[in-house]
Chain A
C-alpha cells in the first residue's frame, strides 16, 4: 500500500458511517477525505466526537504508516491508511499487546463499538492482533445508545468469522466488567481482544437457509449489584422464551464493580448495573442476538430487563435472514473482501433495508467493490428474505501477500 500517494482521495461527507468508511479505507488501502463532519448540525460540538478520535487512534496503533490529518475545527479528516500490522512488537505494542485507553469522554459508547470494526480489520492484519481496551470510558455491557455488550460480540458475531475461515485463536476476555455510567460517573472496564487467525483471503460465504432456532443461550451479567438480579432477569427471559425453545439456558456472571485508582492513590468505584445478552442459534448455525442492560440511572427491575431482552431476541428472529443486524456489517465487508467469487447470503428485508446496510453497500462501491445483486429468496415474494450476492474483490490480506 505504499503506492497510494498516486491514488486520488475518495471523498465522503458527513459524520454518519464514519467508522465504516474508515474501516473500508483501511482494508482497501484507499485514502479518504471526509468533510463536513457535524459542520452544521450542532454548532456547539462540530467535528469529530471523542469516540471517533479514539477510534482513529486505534487505527493508528494497529496500522503502520497511516497518516491522519484533521482540519482546525475537526470537521474535515484526511486518512491515508497504512498496512495493518496488528500488534507487532515495536509499533506501539508492549509485549505484543496494544493497550488502548478509552477515556471518560467516550463513555456513551460501548467497547463493542471499537471491537467489532477492529475484528474486521484483524483478520487482514500482518501479525496477530492483541488489544486491551481499558479506561474510564470502557463499557463492557450494552449501552443505552444501542451498542451491544462484548458478550454478544463474542457469542453472536465472532462465531460468524468461522464461515470465513477464521476460527482459531480468537478470544475476547472480559478482564473487568463494567456498565454504562450515569452522568459524571465512569465505567472502568477492561476487555482484551485476541485475534490471531489471519487469512490471506476470507472464504466465500454461502448462507441461504436460516433454519429454525433450536437453542438459546445467554449471559446475564451483574456488575457491582446483587447476583439475584441475574436470576430474576433469567427467570423472566426464560418465561418468555421457553415456550418457543425449550433448550434455553442463560448463564450468570456476577462481577464486582470495577475499581480505578485516583491520582492520590484512593480507589473509586465504577458504574454498576446488570444486563442480559441472549443468543439464539438456528439449525444452520445462524445467530440472532439481543442485548439489554439496565439504564445508568437505574430504576428498572431485573424482570423487565429479562423480558425486554427476550422480546428483543424474538424480534431479531422475526426479522429473519441468516445474519442479524448487529453482525451484518462484519459479514458484508468480509464477503466483499473475499476471493473473486460470488458469495451469497440471505438477509431479512428489514435488515437489508436498514440505513446502515444500504449506506454500506454504497460505500463499498465507492471504494471499488462491486455492487450487490439482490433477488428474492425462494417463492415468498412479499416479505421473504432477500438473497444478496456479493462478488469479492480478491484483494484480501495485502500484508499476508507480501509476507
Chain B
C-alpha cells in the first residue's frame, strides 16, 4: 500500500522535484510501463535525493512488496492527482520504510525446558515442597552446565579431602611411633618427630631413620604384605629362639600386668614359629599333619605310637592320671 501511495504522489512530485534525480531514461520507461522505474521514482519522490550508488538497491527494495498491486494501480494513477505533499511527507516517512509484516501466529513464548523430575515433583500427589522445588529449577534450566560446574567445583575439594584423609590415616597409623619418639628417644629423633608432628596437620608425617622404616613397614603390611620387612630371614637359631622367647616373655608380662590392673586386653593370638599364625595351639597343630597321616598319635618307624595323653583322650578318662582331666566334656572334642 505504501508504494501505491508513492505512485500516486509520483505524478505530483515529478514536476516538483529536480530533474536531476529522476533521469530521463526512467521517465521514458515509465511511459513504457516499466514498473521498476515507476517504483524507483516513487521512492525517490518520498525520500531525500540519493547518490547513484545507493539508488539501485533501494529501488529493488521498494518494488519487492507490491509487484502484484502495481498492475492494478496505473488506471487509478491519473485521477489520484495526489494528496498534498508536505503534511503527508511527515508521517509517511516512516511507514513505507518498514515492510509491515502481519503474522497471525501467536507470539511464541520461549519454551522452558522442564525436566521429568520436575514434572514428577509438581504433578505427584505430594505438595511440591518449596525447598525441594528450588533445586530442580536451576537444574532444570541449566542442568548440564550446573552439573559440570558442580563437578568442577567439588573436584579440587574432593581431591584435597581424599588427600587429607589418607594423610590422617597414615598419621594415625604412625602416631604411636611419633609419640614414642617424642617421649623417649634421642634428641635428634625427637626433634625430627616433633617437626613432623607439627607439620602433620597439613602434610604426611615423615619420620627419619629406623622410624621411617617402621612406618613404611606398617604401610606395607596394611597394603597386604605377607610379612614384615623387619623379620630377618636368616639368623642363628639361638638368636631367633632368644628373640621369640623375649617377645613371648614381654607379652606375658604385659598380660599379667593387665590382669593385675584389671584391664581387659585383646584376645590372645598365638603366633606359630613360622610367624604366619598357624600351629600355635594344639588344635591348630593337629591340623598341620600331612595328608594320609594318622589322626591320632604319630606314625614313627612303621608303627603308630600313642602317647599317654592320646590314650587318655581316646578312652575319655579311663587312665588314672587322666581321670581328673577326663571329666571336662569340652576336652573330648579335641
The interface of chain A, by Cβ under 8 A from chain B, is 154-155, 158-159, 161-162, 167, 170-174, 192, 194, 215, 217, 219, 235, 238-239, 242, 246-249, 251, 253, 281, 285, 287
Contacts and interface: CB of A to CB of B under 8 A. Distances in A.
Contacts of A253: 123
Contacts of B130: 159, 162, 281, 285, 287
Contacts of B110: 242, 246
Interface of B: 106-107, 109-110, 112, 114, 119, 122-123, 125-131, 133, 137, 141
Contact of B127 (A155, A192, A219, A246): A155
Contact of A242 (B109, B114, B123, B127): B109
Contacts of B128: 154-155, 159, 217
B122 A217 contact: yes
A246 B112 CA distance: 8
A174 B125 CA distance: 7
B140 to A, nearest CB: 9
A159 B127 contact: yes
Pairs of residues from A and B, 10 with the lowest C-beta to C-beta distance, nearest first: A158-B127, A285-B130, A173-B125, A171-B125, A159-B127, A242-B109, A249-B112, A154-B127, A238-B109, A171-B126
A170 B127 contact: yes
Contacts of A171: 125-127
Given A249-B114, A281-B130, A239 B125 contact: no
14 contacts: A154-B126, A155-B122, A159-B127, A162-B130, A192-B125, A217-B122, A217-B128, A239-B109, A247-B112, A249-B112, A249-B114, A253-B123, A281-B133, A285-B130
B124 to A, nearest CB: 8
Contacts of B131: 162, 285
Contacts of B137: 215, 247
A167 B129 contact: yes
A172 B123 CA distance: 11
Given A215-B137, A238-B109, A251 B129 contact: no
B112 A170 contact: no
A55 B129 CA distance: 28
Contacts of A167: 129
Contacts of A287: 130
A207 to B, nearest CB: 12
Contacts of A251: 119, 122-123
A155 B123 CA distance: 9
Contacts of B119: 251
B278 to A, nearest CB: 55
Nearest to A157: B127
Contacts of B109: 238-239, 242, 248
B131 to A, nearest CB: 8
B126 A170 contact: yes
B112 A154 contact: no
B27 to A, nearest CB: 51
Given A170-B127, A235-B106, 18 more contacts: A154-B127, A155-B127, A158-B127, A159-B127, A159-B130, A162-B130, A162-B131, A171-B125, A171-B127, A192-B125, A217-B122, A239-B107, A239-B109, A242-B109, A242-B110, A247-B141, A249-B112, A251-B119
B258 to A, nearest CB: 50
Given A217-B122, A238-B109, A239-B107, A172 B127 contact: yes
